[in-house]
Amino acid sequence: MGGAENESEFRNLLDWLTKHTGLKFRNDQHRHTMTTLRRLMKAVAVEGFAEFQRSLARNPQLLSDTIDQLTVGETYFFREHQHFEFIRQTVIPDFRARSGHHEPIRTWSAGCATGEEAYSLAIVFTQEHAASTILATDLSTAAIEKAQRAVFRPWSFRGQASDAVRPFVTESEDQFTLSPRITRRVQFQRLNLASNTYPSSANGTCNMDLILCRNVLIYFGSETVGEISRRLFACLAPGGWLITASGDPQLVQHADYEVVACDQGVFYRRPRHAESASKTTAGSRLPTRPASDLEALHRATESPLANSLPANSLPANSLPANSLPANSLPANSLPANTAPANSLQAESALRPSVQPVANHAGSVTTWDTDGASRGAGSSRDLLDDSDACLAEIKRVAATDPIRALEICRPAAERHPLVEELHYLHGVLLADADQPLMALESIRKAIFLNRSSVMSHFLFASIQNRQGQYGSAHKHFRRVCELCALGNPNEVLPMSNGETVAEIAVAAQSQLARLESRRDP
């Protein structure tokens, strides 16, 4: 078979798989995907991609095996432990306040892989003496069968999971078997999230009080993500919660979720009453900034991105003498000229750079908002190049931040592991007066790099502006701790040339203001 014909059959097979499973295949994954498919084809004595496609259509078990090989079902107990703390501290008390202590919390682990997430939920509900029903679904039959066996290797208990799980397992020859006390709380079944089979009373996906759909949406294209988001919204009972992973695409633009931001993450909720449906916060009810404040910030600075900092972020006397904790920064770490002369100068100094990388800027035409290109055919592949995406977004942001925001969203979805894209998306969302979505994007950047000074600084600044002073204090403090570990004269990544010392000054100023709020 010729190379062109083989390539055509390969792409047809990928299109077929996308249609029947919802899985997306990025261009940079094609070589690995082709290798995986060839290994499967060899195992069943099939030579061509077209013949393999016909075999998949006839053999559901072969399709299931193929899905297993193409997706990463690896997970572990209490992954992103802060989500389970949110369930303990917010979801369960909220449900009990609405429904009482005896009604079961209807819960769904959507994309449960080998069961660690669903069983983590069962442990939480057991520890909290909460009645519950837990549905766990996955596309992979093999993953479900493994989950039902409830036998795990030590690797499934890494991180902070071991202490929580230990009372509920028995160990034998480097294997851990879950107690029936936990396993009987979970019901497993196969379900394809990309299919139009839910919500349905037939499969028990209606009126859910809590849905976890984490590290699943990254496998789907943007159109499928939108469809799944709307179906999950329809599955939720009024007041029900949806939890996605830190690295998953945003869902708020697809359905009328309320968005709740707190130290434990960014969470979605179906409004309790239809008339209250909104894409603003629930629960914490973070106040939004008045339009007059936004306009004042635009007038006060030249950069369209300057609104990522609060208007009063750096006063003239930005570093009170006693504001620096004794162990926060070395005594000689701040050069004498680091304190900004006034707040406007400081905001200008801390603006994220919007200058494009020279070797990309000239090659870009324009994009549609779904990431497709308009103009030169070669620009269609631009979205596959994260550096080119960053360069183009920065170039456009200098003159048209709204257009830059439209470009940044699909770029961040295409490259979920590129920290700077999430950070820049957060900056643009903050500039567009969408603080909750901005926090969600910045949290993804922090998830990818917990030592990112600029991400923590921006997160703290937005929380401060929203009146979430405890969270702001925590993240400004983290900025100081990170700066204390660095060279004061080193330019920080993702900044506009600012040094460690300059950002430390800004963070300490905000800490001093926040701490003064606590004084009687």
Low-confidence ranges of the chain (pLDDT < 50): 275-380
Neighbours of 31 (CB within 10 A): 9
**What domains lie within the chain, and their CATH numbers?**
3-70 (1.10.155), 81-276 (3.40.50.150), 300-518 (1.25.40.10)
Amino acid at 198: Y
pLDDT tens per residue across span 74-91: 688 999 899 999 999 999
**Edge to edge, what strands does the sheet with 258-262 contain?**
186-190, 132-138, 105-110, 208-212, 236-243, 265-269, 258-262
Distances (CA, A) of 392 to 257, 358, 365, 403, 438: 31, 10, 9, 11, 20
Q: What is the dihedral of CA 243, 249, 254, 257, to 10 degrees?
A: 30
Residues recorded for the chain: 520
Cis peptide before 325 (omega within 30 of 0): no
In order, the DSSP letters of 154-216 are GGGGTTTHHHHHGGGEEEETTEEEE-HHHHTTEEEEE--TTSS--S-TTTT-SSEEEEE--S-
Question: How far is Cα 334 from Cα 480, in angstroms, rounded to an integer?
Answer: 12
Residues near 293 by beta carbon (within 8 Å), at least 6 away in sequence: 311
Whole-number pLDDT of residue 432: 87
Whole-number pLDDT of residue 5: 63
CA–chain centroid gap for 181, Å, is 32
Whole-number pLDDT of residue 69: 74
Instruction: Give which of 134, 135, 130 is closest to 96, Cα–Cα.
Output: 130
Verdict on whether the full-model pTM lies above 0.85: no
Whole-number pLDDT of residue 85: 95
Whole-number pLDDT of residue 36: 83
CA–chain centroid gap for 445, Å, is 8
Q: Is residue 372 helix, strand or coil?
A: coil
Question: How far is Cα 455 from Cα 466, in angstroms, rounded to an integer?
Answer: 17
User: Where do runs of H (alpha helix) occur along 326-434?
Assistant: 343-349, 358-361, 386-397, 401-414, 419-431
Whole-number pLDDT of residue 3: 61
